[in-house]
Structure 1
């Protein structure tokens, strides 16, 4: 069975099956297929259907009914970053049962007809967050990693001058701070 995700809706054979609504820590699938995916913790989700728990996801290992499905982590990272345009879904016996592909207008997934279509609906709802590519941030070699020191040094110097020490101790502290500052700024490059 083939499913398409586009603009917050899931279609099959150009018929609208359900809408995907994202809220704070939940993803609601409303329509012919009703599922609530509630986040429980880091990479852990609880799957509710008609207000009862029917499965859970732990690091994209989906336990639904009597089956366990998973997507490998390297595959997921490559999919999110745009190096790969498809994800394969496997059962616990390393049998491929489905695939999710990135298309021009969203996602497309197919699932073996032997398995419950809710499996693909759940994975499409989760992967809808990554329907577009999110590349790594650009590396900026011109920006100094010690630029924060420029903002801290004046306050430290004002604080040092307000200390009730004799003049020569203030001057020594000032010279030490400047030496440390220029060591990190100039000599460490």
Structure 2
């Protein structure tokens, strides 16, 4: 953690919580309001971030991700791990990931886009929004997927080979109401 940021760590064992107070009446905590603290995370650690009225920006974290906010974007770059399910959630913001490594992905928002560029072919991938588009790019050598895409006011494009009806190893679900759903090989 950046030494100039007022923060307090709680917890023991494998779970620790970082509290970043934001109190306009406290000169020490005022700098945290609207700021973006830099936190270094060791490889292999599952990172959980819960925020409100703020974006979550993760880069170069090699581990499981559970990221959520309200009124902000969730942005991931070159992160994740092949053996983990990555949870990326916001409301009133977009979910954007490039270089995402995962066994499974669950990405969701209400008012915003879901844009995912995966470096691996996850076994399951769910992308959901209500007012926005869902766009997924998988590796060029991605296997066939069982796909379920839907939109009410938009178009669906699937540029992947379809899996046999008995093959459920790779499943992709993309949903929106007002926007497009797209999945492509990279």
TM-score (norm 2): 0.21
Higher relative contact order (CA 8 A, sep 6+): 1
Name the structure with the higher strand share. Answer: 2
TM-score (norm 1): 0.20
Name the structure with the higher helix share. Answer: 1
